[in-house]
Amino acid sequence: MDEAVKHSCGLFGIYGHRDAARLTYLGLYSLQHRGEEAAGIVTYDGKAMHTHKGMGLVSEVFHEQTLHGLPGRTAIGHTRYSTTGSSTLKNSQPLVVTYAKGSIAVAHNGNLVNAYELRQQLEANGSIFQTTVDSEIILHLLARATNKEFQDDLVECLRLLKGAFTLLFLTERELVGVRDPNGFRPLVLGRLNKTHVLASETCALDIIGAKFVREVEPGEAVCIGAGGLRSLRPFKDQPTGRSHCLFEHVYFARPDSHIFGESVQAVRVKLGRQLAREHPVEADLVMPIPDSGNFAALGYSLESKIPFALGMIRNHYVGRTFIQPAQEIRDLKIRVKFNPIREIIKGKRLVIVDDSIVRGNTTRARVKSLREAGAKAIHMRVSCPPTKHACFYGIDFPSKRELIANRLSLDEIRTFIGVESLGYLSLDGMLKAVGRPADYCTACWSGTYPIPFGGEGDKFALEKHAGQGRC
């Protein structure tokens, strides 16, 4: 994988279907873009939980036989990229435990900002942790709660969490979906005849033929069991504003999904249009950097009336098992994934549009290959503002130091990537284009964090502290 940074996670859950594992597999397959590092499914068959997890893509982790080994009518699944804890099978999800009230599995998308603090308290009281992911803390908190009903334990536990947490729980009786009060990450509810489905994005409903019902609301927990669906409001006395992750719209979610009440592709087209208004330029063609730049480029082309062209082809089959080229042919690496089409590019003044620049390295390499293909001029346009700040809510950006917009001025970035002009969308323009500006988190661009964190927002924090003998 030569792209700059990593994704967060994809969640899928289903209650009451004889093909629960297989449908979960399909759901995860369509959520692959949210995490390519590990995948897992847990099912419950009325007697026991069954788990299969592995490192790699969904299609690499699951086979006919592994799905046969996952009986039951309820299931949850997870695709993972590491946002807390390093990339090991032990840290992959869903996590399953058995405690006083039976077996329970959890799958988490997002990051807790008070993970370190909570873990310290739990360890001081004798808890022993198996993993270094923050999600395990949630299971410990549940296990320690002493109410009669699981539902009350759940509410008690959820109220202790701070940060971004979209969660799925599978218990022996229910499938539960939770969104934190800010609603950082998406979660949608769907229906396949009588079966309820929960998924990170609507593309996972489409793939199994389920109908979109509604989004799980920020601050809501939906409990789906034999009696149907109940909605809880665990945080109702903790009023907070909404903080949907705007980077989900810019890059993360699939363009065929609807999240946060909007069509992702439509938002991207609007961002592209706004970009064209803010940074017009004379050129012959507008070209996306595929695939993340596709819809923003379309918007730029529609607004500027400069023809849209596909001048670079992306190879989609570069998986984890791809053997990296040897040192002496490193330069060819970029072409494994992207190949410019010379007859489209040669002699043309190009506007190239991408969703974001993170470290700048892949952008620089792509610009170089466009030059080699004969581009006369290259104007780069980016459909979000300069990415300058770390994300503590579930997007795995590299450290602040590695973010190019943090180290270099606009003109230095332009020189580094090697283009005639460079234009980023402004924060105001972006919010205006998306609408409902107060509902979004823009921390990675603005540095304004909707939930304060204690400086422990490093994905390896739990490991470092473990290494210091605090475990």
Interacting residues with ligand 5GP (CB under 6 A): 3-7, 251, 289, 292, 354-363
Tokens of 65: 């036989």
140, interface contact from Mg ion, ligand 5GP, none, CB < 5-8 Å by kind = none
For the bound state, the minimum distance from the C-beta of residue 193 to ligand 5GP, rounded and expressed in Å, comes to 36
Question: Distance (Å, rounded) from C-alpha 267 to C-alpha 255?
Answer: 9
3-state secondary structure of 168: strand
Which of Mg ion, ligand 5GP, none does residue 171 bind (CB under 5 to 8 Å by kind)? none
Nearer to Mg ion among residue 1 and residue 48 (C-beta): 1
Can you spell out the DSSP letters for 79-115? EE--SSS-S-STT-S-EEEEETTEEEEEEEES-BTTH
Let me know: does 296 contact 269? Beta carbons within 8 Å: yes
363 binds, among ligand 5GP, Mg ion, none (CB under 5 to 8 A by kind): ligand 5GP
List the catalytic residue out of 9, 157, 441, 444: 9
Where would I find the H helices in 211-289?
246-247, 264-278
CA–CA distance, 63 with 411 (Å, rounded to integer): 50
What is the closest distance, in whole angstroms, from the C-beta atom of residue 334 to ligand 5GP in the complex? 11
* Distance of closest approach, residue 21 Cβ to ligand 5GP, in angstroms: 28
138: tokens are 């949630």
At its nearest, how many Å lie between Mg ion and the CB of residue 399? 20
359 binds, among ligand 5GP, Mg ion, none (CB under 5 to 8 A by kind): ligand 5GP
The end-to-end CA distance of the chain, in Å, is 33
DSSP structural state of residue 402? G
Comparing CB distances to Mg ion, the nearer of 114 and 292 is: 292
Residue 226: count other Cβ atoms within 10 Å of its Cβ.
Answer: 8
| SS3 state at 463 | helix
Residue nearest to Mg ion (CB): 292
Give the amino acid at 360: G
Rank residues 149 and 317 by Cβ distance to ligand 5GP and give the closer one. 317
Is 384 among the residues known to form the active site?
A: no
Rounded to 10 deg, the angle between the 115-124 and 135-144 helix axes is 40
36 versus 174: smaller Cβ distance to ligand 5GP = 36
Q: Which does 4 bind (CB under 5 to 8 A by kind): ligand 5GP, Mg ion, none?
A: ligand 5GP
Neighbouring C-alpha atoms within 13 Å toward the C-beta of 214:
7
The site partner of 215 among ligand 5GP, Mg ion, none (C-beta below 5 to 8 Å per kind) is none
The minimum distance between CB 357 and ligand 5GP, in angstroms, equals 5
Q: Dihedrals φ, ψ of 374, to 5°?
A: 100, 15
Q: Residue 50 belongs to what H/E stretch?
A: strand 49-55
What residue 275 binds from Mg ion, ligand 5GP, none (CB within 5 to 8 A, per partner kind)?
none
Start-end of H helices in 373-409: 404-407
Residues sharing a CB contact under 8 Å with residue 104, sequence separation 6 or more, in sequence order: 96, 97, 98, 139, 142, 169, 170, 171, 172
Rounded to the nearest whole angstrom, what is the least distance from the CB of residue 366 to Mg ion in the complex?
9
Summarize the chain as % helix, strand, coil (round to 5).
35, 25, 40
Determine the Cα–Cα distance for residues 21 and 212; give it in Å rounded to an integer.
20
Question: Which CB, 182 or 292, lies closer to Mg ion?
Answer: 292
Of residues 386 and 429, the one with the C-beta less far from ligand 5GP = 386
Q: Which residues does 65 contact at the CB level (< 8 Å), separation at least 6?
A: none
* CA distances (Å), origin 294, targets 312, 314, 316, 414: 11, 12, 15, 21
User: Binding residues for Mg ion, per CB under 5 A?
Assistant: 292
DSSP H helix total and E strand total for the chain: 18, 23
Least distance CB 292 / Mg ion (angstroms): 3
265 binds, among ligand 5GP, Mg ion, none (CB under 5 to 8 A by kind): none
CB of 43 to ligand 5GP, least distance (A): 30
Q: Which is nearer to ligand 5GP, 8 or 171 (CB)?
A: 8
Residue placing its CB nearer to Mg ion in the complex, 248 or 463: 248
Catalytic residue annotation: 9
